[in-house]
Amino acid sequence: MDLLIYWKARWAPHLRSRFGISERGASLVEYALLVALIAVVCIIAVSLLGGTASTKFSQVASSLS
């Protein structure tokens, strides 16, 4: 019986803190998904607006010449 009391007092809190519920990895995954979503939106915006912006810059450059 003393072994069970010793285990509950010494090792159980250590094991709970070591392997318990931790959300550190979850927040890292959320930030990674957020960065990936922002990158995808930027790539789509550049691909959709790239041709229009290039045409406008060409018009401005030819009017300045």
| pLDDT string in tens for the chain (65-residue length) | 577 777 677 777 777 776 666 666 677 888 999 999 999 999 999 888 888 888 888 999 999 87
pTM for this one?
0.49
How is the chain split into domains, by residue range? Answer: 23-65
The pLDDT value recorded for residue 22 is 64
The pLDDT value recorded for residue 23 is 63
Place of tokens 């010793």: 6
Q: How far apart are CA 24 and CA 36, in angstroms?
A: 19
Closest CA to 26 of 14, 37, 16, 34: 34
The pLDDT value recorded for residue 5 is 77
The pLDDT value recorded for residue 12 is 76
The pLDDT value recorded for residue 39 is 96
Residue 38's Cβ-side half-sphere holds a number of Cα atoms within 13 Å equal to 6
Q: How far apart are CA 8 and CA 10, in angstroms?
A: 6
